[in-house]
């Protein structure tokens, strides 16, 4: 039995991590086999690459270097953790995947969405998500959330100027048009309970369609 690959995307401070934690806990209670993970990271090699990418001292990192490092981390994480879990019939909830590279490096860094997509197609070999939840939020609100969250890591991307974060959001909006059958937009500025209810409804629909959840 093959599993279900769900990715969560959005700008900094959109609340993806909170949603994944709650989703994983609740789905497990419903008897669904779940693996929650993140990018870049999730396994040892990719976590080491994550440290290099997000280190606040690495402000001189070239944009193409950045894009290639993300793709390398993605490849290792996919083959070592995501694909085996899917083969075991699990639901994989991943905090970021290919769309982050397309929005951040492809659009906001100006490398070109199609160019970065080509790099990543080589890395993932067709392993696209079954569905992607995009958490849409104004960058100022997202960055304010990060500043108010003492427990959240502040990384190199958080230090970018507001213009960069606005371009990231524009990039995601372009991806909504490019992949309308896969990416579902959610208003992440709404109250957290309201956001979660919408997320759970979407996930349940995906699970029922895949025959992995029976909600009578």
Q: Binding-site residues for ATP, please?
A: 10-17
In this structure, the chain runs to a length of: 216
Distance (Å, whole) CA 116 – CA 87: 27
Closest CA to 136 of 103, 96, 169: 169
Query: Residues 94, 38: contact at Cβ < 8 Å?
Result: yes
- DSSP run (H or E) holding 135: strand 131-136
Annotated binding site: 10-17
| DSSP letter (8 states) at residue 157 | G
Rounded to 5, what percent of the chain is helix, strand, coil?
55, 10, 30
Reading the block at residue 194, the tokens are 């309201």
User: Using a CB cutoff of 8 Å and minimum separation of 24, what contacts does 203-206 make?
Assistant: 203/6, 203/23, 203/27, 206/4, 206/6, 206/130, 206/131
Q: Across the chain, which distance is largest between two alpha carbons, in Å?
A: 55
């Amino acid at each position: 039995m093959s599993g279900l690959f769900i990715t969560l995307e959005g700008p900094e401070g959109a609340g993806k991590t909170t949603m994944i934690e709650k989703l994983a806990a609740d789905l497990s209670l419903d008897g669904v086999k779940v693996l929650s993970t993140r990018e870049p990271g999730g396994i040892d090699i990719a976590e080491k690459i994550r440290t290099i990418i997000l280190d606040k001292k690495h402000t001189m990192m070239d944009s193409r270097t950045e894009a290639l490092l993300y793709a390398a981390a993605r490849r290792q994480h996919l083959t070592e953790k995501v694909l085996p879990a899917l083969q075991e019939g699990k639901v994989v909830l991943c905090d970021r995947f290919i769309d982050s590279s397309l929005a951040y490096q492809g659009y906001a860094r100006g490398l070109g969405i199609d160019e970065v997509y080509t790099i990543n197609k080589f890395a993932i070999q067709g392993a696209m998500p079954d569905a992607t939840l995009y958490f849409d939020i104004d960058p100022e609100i997202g960055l304010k959330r990060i500043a108010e969250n003492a427990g959240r890591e502040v990384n190199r991307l958080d230090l970018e100027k507001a213009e960069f974060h606005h371009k990231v959001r524009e990039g995601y909006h372009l991806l909504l048009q490019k992949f309308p059958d896969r990416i579902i937009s959610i208003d992440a500025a709404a109250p957290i309970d309201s956001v979660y209810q919408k997320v759970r409804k979407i996930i349940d629909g995906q699970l029922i369609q895949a025959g992995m959840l029976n909600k009578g």
